[in-house]
Amino acid sequence: MEMRPSGSTEPFLRPSWRDAAAYAALQTASLVRVAWEFLRRNPAYQEAWGALKDYAATLESRDPQLVLQEFGDDLPHVLLRASVERAQQWGLNVMVDPSSNGGSFVFASAGWDYTLVDKGTGIPETADNPHGLQKNTKWLVAKVDLSLPLNVIESQLLAAVRAERQARIKRGVFEPIESRAQNTDRYVEYLRILDADAAGASVKEIGDALAPMAANDEDRQRDKRFRAALKEAQRLQQEGYRVLPLLQPAAPRKKN
């Protein structure tokens, strides 16, 4: 399989943020597509894609036989492997051109990381930490007696997860991610705010365009709202997008 850019090779062209109709298709889009919209706007991802294209161009300019000798594989497979390896950083199964509206890619699962369990925690078991839990990260690793009945294992793990999660939240180790997906309209507004910010619009200009009927009183409540919204939109662009595909409702099963 050959790694090639899908769509235009031009930089990502953002919609006109003042034009609500330019975002209409996203109102009914899946959360996977919405997640991609946040990621494709990430300047670091755009830079990573550009670096991959440069790498591909360098290899394509070389003698195919020399590539085969150096990498032990033909050019298409070398490029595909490079794409897959670099995509892991972004939670994708393969790198995708930011100018593309998507395509045949998936976001990697954000479930349990079994490699952490295989490698071991290196944390000694004590009376107050019988499972060797990692205390100061968002990760939890626990030893499980797999010989026990499955319902017992599930019960023990759930109890440990709930207790440890609450304890770490109270200690400020991490901020919990909301389990309920927001209305798609809110995500679309965040995308418009990102595009407005990229275009150099001020918070006041964003408020005037997106909420013209909302009063911007002496306390500048409207400005505060959109400033907070910009911060949340930037969080989704950097890391938060990874959670959105997990919030996508499962398709209903077909009845036989």
Is the pLDDT higher at 251 or at 168?
168
Q: How confident is the model at residue 37 (pLDDT cuts 50, 70, 90)?
A: very high
Is the pLDDT higher at 131 or at 54?
54
Q: How confident is the model at residue 112 (pLDDT cuts 50, 70, 90)?
A: very low
Q: Give 131-154 pLDDT, tens digit per residue.
A: 444 556 777 777 777 877 787 778
Residues 6+ apart with CB under 8 A from 242: 35, 91, 107, 110
Report the pLDDT value the prediction gives residue 141, as an integer from 0 to 100. 72
* DSSP for 47-93, written as a single string: HHHHHHHHHHHHHHTS-HHHHHHHHSS-HHHHHHHHHHHHHGGGTBS
Q: How confident is the model at residue 74 (pLDDT cuts 50, 70, 90)?
A: confident
φ/ψ of residue 228, rounded to 5 = -65, -40
- Rounded to whole angstroms, the Cα distance separating 239 from 43 reads 13
Does the pTM exceed 0.75?
Answer: no
Ranges of H-type helices in the chain: 31-40, 43-60, 64-71, 75-87, 114-119, 150-171, 184-198, 203-210, 221-238
Angle at 25 between CA 22 and CA 29, to 5 degrees: 140
Report the pLDDT value the prediction gives residue 119, as an integer from 0 to 100. 38
Q: Give 229-240 pLDDT, tens digit per residue.
A: 999 999 999 988
The one-character DSSP state at 98 is: T
Report the pLDDT value the prediction gives residue 251, as an integer from 0 to 100. 55
Position 219 pLDDT exceeds 80: no
Q: Are 106 and 92 in contact (CB under 8 A)?
A: yes
Report the pLDDT value the prediction gives residue 182, as an integer from 0 to 100. 62
Q: Work out the mean pLDDT of the chain and round it to a whole number.
A: 78
Share of the chain above pLDDT 70, in %: 76
Determine how many CB atoms are found less than 10 A away from the CB of residue 59: 17
Q: Give 168-217 pLDDT, tens digit per residue.
A: 888 887 777 665 556 788 999 999 999 999 999 999 999 999 988 877 77
Report the pLDDT value the prediction gives residue 136, as an integer from 0 to 100. 66
Quick one: CA torsion of 112, 118, 124, 129, rounded to 10 degrees? 20
Q: Give 238-247 pLDDT, tens digit per residue.
A: 988 988 887 7
Residues 6+ apart with CB under 8 A from 228: none
Task: For residue 84, count CB atoms less than 10 angstroms from its CB and return exposed for 0-12, middle for 13-18, buried for 19 or more.
Answer: middle
- Rounded to whole angstroms, the Cα distance separating 165 from 155 reads 15
Average pLDDT over residues 115-144: 53
The one-character DSSP state at 126 is: B
Determine how many CB atoms are found less than 10 A away from the CB of residue 97: 20
Length, in residues, of the chain = 256
Position 125 pLDDT exceeds 50: no
Q: How confident is the model at residue 4 (pLDDT cuts 50, 70, 90)?
A: very low
Report the pLDDT value the prediction gives residue 122, as an integer from 0 to 100. 46
